[in-house]
Structure 1
Amino acid sequence: MRKLYLRIYLAVLASLAAFALASGVLWRQLGDAGPAGHAFEVAGTLAQNVLPPAPAPTAEQQAALEKLAANLRADVALFAADRTPLAAVGAPLPAPAAGRDRGAWLRPWGGGPAAAIHLPDGRWLVARAPRDRRYPGFPLFFTLALIALAVGVGAYPVVRRLTARLERLHSGVESLGAGDLSARVKVEGHDEVARLAESFNRAAARIEELVGSHKSLLANASHELRTPLTRIRMTVELMKDSADPKRKRDLEHDIGELDALIDEILLASRLDTLTGRDADEEVDLLALASEECARYEEADLDGEPVTVRGDPRLLRRMIRNLLENARRHGAPPIEVRVRRAESAAELSVGDHGPGVPESEREGVFQPFHRSAGAREGAGAGLGLALVRQIARRHGGDVRYLARQPSGSRFVVNLDASPQGGVS
């Protein structure tokens, strides 16, 4: 895409060229009708007063023309009203065009410009200065070209300065969008671009403040929630045999779910606000999947060793969430496959449950999404949202595929390390 400063700069140059061209055309078309035309009329009257009348013999007119041109060192020709030559001094000159009725400049090809002066009695006097005294057309053109070049060179830094400020503003917006909440742009000048930069800085400061408040709220809430959870857990342990075993198991399950929910909320918030990874190392995806599948009796693992670069803790959480989702919402067996697909590592987790309705297949990756037919205790709806966040944090993504006749299959694609990488 062409840079904005180039577009503005080219527009300035095009406007300059169009102005010069229009000025030249107007000067050529209308120049003879202004003060120059009046000068031609005055010269015609003076020439008629010096020259013999039109009916005079040709020899008399020739002698008068030679006397007129004696000190001019110019080519001069006298034509009758019907453009027939009457007398001439020096090199031949062209007669004025038949349709012309006023004095003007003649610009024939192969020669310099000549002045055609219309005498009041209808005759035409055409004169052209010698070459060493003619109008310097090329030097004038060269001078105008230098002026245009100077204007173009002078306009470039002005245009570049304007667009450079816009580019810095664009970089600030990109940095803010990438998660750098401290991104600000320098305010330069007092024009619309400066006011836009000020507005951006105010908006960025407000966003940083809101996100900071959000993070502080989550941290405080997690601390405040974990404290009573710890007390409840200790109370359950102290109850031992004095409580109903079923009620005790249910209470322990509820505490575990609430504790897991707090962990998932905190992890989702951290992934939203941070751009980098806490760890960056070579990870054997098959070995990691094998360790997680060992936690589930109904999980069946197959595949080939594939190495990816990333945070092993986040990748482990991604696999665990996929397995937990298959256990909660699907039906055994859970099939886990790891393979290399060209330059990508592919992890798929499938089950034989009822599947996901077509209208909800993209919504399952939204935070706190709950399907219409979800069973009680089916989770808070953050598991698959975290899977997508973790996959995208590692340069990949996750998608849902339906299985026939029933079942679900979630496929994660990640950037694979070159073959031969060390895990």
Structure 2
Amino acid sequence: MKPGKVYLKIFLSFLAVLIVTEVLIFGLFLIYAGRPAKEWAERLNAAKVVLVKETIEEIINEKIQLEPEAPISRNESLNRFIHRFGDLFDAKVWLSSPGGEVLVQSFDGAVPEQIIEEFTRGRPIGLGGVRFYPHKSHRLSGLYAALPVQVNPAESGQLHILFEKQWPTSSHDKSFVWGLVLIGLVIAILVMPVSRLITKPLKELRRSAIRIAEGDLSHRAPIRSNDEIGELGRAFNSMADRLEGMIRGGKALTANVSHQLRSPLARIRVAGELLQEKFMRGDARSTENHLKDIHEDVEEMDRMIGQLLTLSKLDIHEAVLKPEILDPAAMVQDLMDRFKPMMEQKSIRTEAAIDFNGPFCADREAMATVLNNLFENGCKYTPEKGTVAVRLGFEKTSLRFALTNSTTRTLSREQLERIFDPFYRIEGTAPKGTGLGLAIAKKVIEKQGGTINASQSPEGICVSFVLPSMQAPAA
């Protein structure tokens, strides 16, 4: 399976960080661990040479005296001693004549003249009467010393001791480097499943998005974590919920609009046919009545289309609020006066409790729309000789309004929540309007940061809202 781009980015990022980390570790080791270790090794080697300086000449003379007839280069005792000395000190040791000829050496091959020349180019250090030549470079480090020794009564030679460490031939350094490489490989291998674990929920989220795009609106992305990816998944599901609700709501709205428009259109068609028939008969009085019916149906359709446009503007946030200082108490009183004839026609009694004496800032047109829709709804659904109770108050910086209409009906919680849905009507009630008034009121209140709800009370059904005051416009 081809790895995704996010997976490759995560894997390569981990790998880059790992490589940089290992390089830094190795560099820090060389600076803070390797250098002190080398310096300590140099001091230790120098101390070894100083300690044996006093006795080395006696031992060499003793070994020579054991085989006085043999040349120094063939003296077995001296050869064994020099080899043992080199092995013990982990160094290259050789004995040379005054002329520089190598007499005995502890190692195979030629004397490393180039290395000696490189060492002796540096500044010597005196310690215990011995001149040491320390050396450090990117490929070689160590210590060199030459001790004068008397090989016979007539000749004096030199005992050469070379402690060297070539980079990267040292087994310890090689082990350390290969250890870092091995650790890096192990971590890189472990990063692969970790990267897949991180990208797996993203792939699931992508598959969910494709399924929803293909029309499966009920599908939701699986959430298995509480991290940022889990939060992204929850936000995605929340978006899917809203999209599903909007799409289903749009379909329901289209169906409801079609149904609502069909009735007045059917009445207009029938009235038109009757009008044509009456016109041909010359019945002027009946013709006037049918024209009046057609006019009322056209008015109803125009009112419904206007409310639909208002609802659509609120849904797409096109409506712009214009806050201004207003008097809600006066607006409520004006509406009570306007709806008074309708209430008197049904013998509806009104009760008002208005306790509002502070300035309030809101959109005047939006506020008037909400109050008008609530009053109109209350008058329509209050039975004859019923009661409409209005309460208006102010708490802190919010306006509180409630309208209760007396009714013997008891609504369920679901019905109380759904009365704010477009075109929703309670079963058993006659259609007295478009079914959009409360839906528009809810949109307007929520757009201004308020809340609206319906509740059942002993007095009847109460629709109330809380609306915070908006910021007053600058003078």
* Coarse TM-score class (shorter-chain normalised): 0.3 to 0.5
Larger Rg: 2
TM-score by length of 2: 0.42
Q: Give the number of the structure whose residues are more often strand, by fraction.
A: 2
